[in-house]
Amino acid sequence: MGNTNDRRVVITGLGLVTPLGIGIETNWNALIEGRSGIGPITKFDASGFATQFAGEVNDFKPEDFIPKKQLKNMDPFLQFVLAAAKMASEDSSIKIDNELSTRAGVIIGCGLGGIYTFEESHKILLNRGPRRISPFFVPMIIGNMAPGLVSIQQNAKGPNLSIQTACAAGTHAIGLAFHMIRDGLIDVAFTGGVEAAVSPICLAGFNAMRALSTKNDAPEKASRPFDKNRDGFVLAEGSGIMVLETSERALERGAKIYAEICGFGLSGDAYHMTAPAPDGEGAVRCMKMAIDDANITPQEVDYINAHGTSTDLNDKFETIAIKTVFGEHAYKLAVSSTKSMTGHLLGGAGGVEGVYTALTIHTGIIPPTINYEEPDPECDLDYVPNKARKADVKVALSNSFGFGGTNATIVLRKWDS
């Protein structure tokens, strides 16, 4: 059954902190120019690791967004999300007064929380003893502090939720926020994803799984989704946050509307801890559910912002899943992976890519999949190779799939009142 609720949900504000830069304009210019945000790791000495590069956030001045006295008690993931939320709020020109506050929710996805603080505090515990652990240690590491602090920042007293579904968390958060508004539980939401996991323990863990690219001689070319010579994903950090609200409210206040969210799908593989289900079976059900929820046909979809991690199994099975869902129309779709430029932000990926998908619809420009040099016979769709493309994108999907076999898809479309 498709949706029968007539409340429409639109995107009116966007905020980004990514390896491509701070803010919408910087990010979008880098994306459409096909620039990579991947480089050698500077946060710690990575010379002993199999992978020595990542998508780090550079040129970030947290004091531009957060009072300086609060910063010492905030893990980087909290700094990123607060900055992105503030930018989204300002972009939307939304004001959460006392009357609206209980109808404004915050739903944000995060995979690992304050892993950087956890790792640094463990060193303090071992070297200096338990009395030297900060009283802010626990609030600095728990994932739900992301929506918690954003709610304080924005005076949002409605539902306050943290979604921990690995690399699908940001998209699950957006989809859940969309449904809560559509179903009348709230009228406004701050939603998206965040992650700050470029740390020694995470890098070592993903290396141990052989999940990361090891192209240390050319980091900017390491993330190459759907390319035959891909050898793993690139670890990255950042946050993408959007403001959602009812179309009625947005129109009343004369807000700028980037796009409408009209569908959400989610599924589980029930197959393996880390590997996707064969032939992307879970992703198939997820995309079909989102399309049905949006009350559209597969043939109406113009573009997919793919999960596209640059790992062997993900790219192959996501391609198969797209062909299963869309049939012959799959070859008429544009499919691109912005992870080719940002790397993989884990729990933050869906938030950032949801923002990018909204901008694709809003600007009429599809960002490319860079580093696409040698086609893989098993990945034979139109991946918008290497150069951005002008296109009238009326309907787009954004896919996210995570460890544990958790899948999420949102459907966005051009706003038409």
Residues carrying an active site annotation: 167, 307, 344
Q: Which of 394, 400, 397, 396 lies closest to 414, judged by CA?
A: 394
Where are the alpha helices (H) located in 238-280, listed in sequence order? 247-252
Classified as helix, coil or strand, 106 is strand
Q: Which of 109, 106, 110, 192 lies closest to 157, judged by CA?
A: 106
Q: Which of 160, 3, 153, 169 lies closest to 78, judged by CA?
A: 153
Q: Helices then strands (H, E): number in the chain?
A: 14, 15
Look at the block and give the residue holding tokens 């020595």: 52
Q: What is the DSSP letter of 405?
A: T
**22 strand-pairing partners:** 17
CB 104, CB 156: distance < 8 Å: yes
**114 strand-pairing partners:** none
CB 166, CB 347: distance < 8 Å: yes
The vertex-356 CA angle with 347 and 189, nearest 5°, equals: 65
Q: Which of 409, 368, 347, 359 lies closest to 242, judged by CA?
A: 359
Q: What is the DSSP letter of 409?
A: E
Phi-psi region of 128 (alpha: psi -120 to 50; beta: other; left: phi over 0): alpha
Where are the alpha helices (H) located in 253-348, listed in sequence order? 281-293, 312-326, 339-342
CB 369, CB 387: distance < 8 Å: no
Two tokens, residue 169: 């968390």
Two tokens, residue 122: 């463990």
Pairing of strands 9-18, 259-268: antiparallel
Cα separation, 188 vs 242, in Å, equals 11
Residue 24 has, within 13 A of its CA and on its CB side, a CA count of 24
Q: Tell the burial category of 234 from Cβ atoms under 10 Å away from its Cβ (0-12, 13-18, 19+).
A: buried
Q: Which of 290, 287, 301 lies closest to 334, judged by CA?
A: 301
